[in-house]
Structure 1
Amino acid sequence: MEKDRLAAFSDGVVAIIVTIMVLELKAPHSAQWSALAPLAATFASYALSFVYVAIYWNNHHHLLYAVSRVDGTVLWANMHLLFWLSLIPFATAWMADNDFASAPTILYGAALLMPAIAYNLLTAAILRADGPASTLAGAVGRDVKGRASIAVYLCAIAAGYFVSPLLALGLYVAVAIMWFAPDPRIEKIVAGAPDQR
């Protein structure tokens, strides 16, 4: 299978995920500015989730850019990632509807943790298909940022349970900030520029 078909399918799923999330933003029936205040938690949750989905889409694009071979394991690993990403709208809505209460905020953390794990599994599947001498293997390296993200998600989930949901939210935002600027390693390797890891 060509990687272009995999990318196109993934793009379509991500577009549907974003559409489902934005449908949770219900317009108020009042024409007063004050009618928007109750939507603050919903909008904040949507904005954070939109950033996360955009980060995954962006990094997925970079990942597939360097792929030379797609096999069945890569296809299923990609579907695994898309499955977990598709649950982000549900977790977002539950967290927003309950004003960042503990249980929904913890579930939201799980909804962020699982795609991070799935993304690592997808990367591993691609590396197996392409081989250890591939362009992507040279670009990915030790993936310290990816592993650190998983550790922060686990800490945030624990913080949401034992300390405060707001602390957990702060950690979710911190990971998003960490990934907001895409990692240019793959582009530099593909373009033949020196690696800056």
Structure 2
Amino acid sequence: METERFEAFIDAILAIIITIIVLEIPLASNGSWQALLDIKYEFIIYAISFMICFNFWNFNNNVFSIVNKVDPKVIWTMGLTLFVFSLLPYLTTFVAENFNVFFPQFLYGLTFIITAIFSLIIGKFLKDADPGNIALQIALNDHSSLYFTIILVLIGMVIGYFAYPPVIMLCCLISIFGVWFIPKIKG
């Protein structure tokens, strides 16, 4: 299958997810600063969810820019990943309305971990589908940023369970910056 249509499909799904997330932010009850402060958690979790979507798009855009072939394993695994990722609008609202509660934060972090695991699997399937693509083989050789994401969010879940649940969301955000900076630290 040609990758352009597949990339366009991924882009369309992510655009819809971001649109739903922004539409879920409630309107301020009036035109005051206090009314905006009353919905601060909605803005915080929206910003983090937006960064997560952008990071996912950026990662896939960079990877698929060098992909020549995809096969059914790649397509179905990405479909499952997008299914899990499509829960983000619901979980964004769930966390915003229950900001200091462990379970919504846990589900938010779990979605992040599952997406990272699926990204690892997709990377393997992409390499298997196009073994002659040296650029792809090299680009998908180092998974340290995805492992960093999984470990950091798991640590956040432990801290969130015992102390302060929003640490999970914070760990998701920190792991995004880790994805951007870990390759630069090594090189």
- What TM-score, normalized by structure 1, do the two folds share? 0.87
Q: Report % sequence identity.
A: 28
Q: How many residues align?
A: 186
1:129 is matched with which residue? Answer: 129
1:189 is matched with which residue? Answer: none
Between the aligned partners of 2:26 and 2:169, the Cα distance in structure 1 is 23
Paired residues for 1:1-197 under 5 Å: 1-131=1-131, 134-180=134-180, 197=187
Between the aligned partners of 1:90 and 1:50, the Cα distance in structure 2 is 13
CA contact (8 A) 2:127 2:140 kept: no
CA contact (8 A) 1:88 1:112 kept: no
CA contact (8 A) 1:3 1:70 kept: yes
One-letter identity of the residue aligned with 2:113 = L
- How big is the shift at 1:181? 5.9
- Distance of aligned partners of 1:2 and 1:182 in 2 relative to their CA distance in 1, 3 Å threshold: farther
- How big is the shift at 1:140? 2.2
- Distance of aligned partners of 1:142 and 1:176 in 2 relative to their CA distance in 1, 3 Å threshold: closer
- What TM-score, normalized by structure 2, do the two folds share? 0.91
Between the aligned partners of 1:44 and 1:17, the Cα distance in structure 2 is 17
CA contact (8 A) 1:49 1:88 kept: yes
Q: RMSD value over aligned CA atoms?
A: 1.9
Structure 2 regions of 5+ residues with no counterpart? none
Q: SS in structure 1 opposite 2:17?
A: helix
CA contact (8 A) 1:59 1:182 kept: no
One-letter identity of the residue aligned with 1:125 = F
One-letter identity of the residue aligned with 2:172 = Y
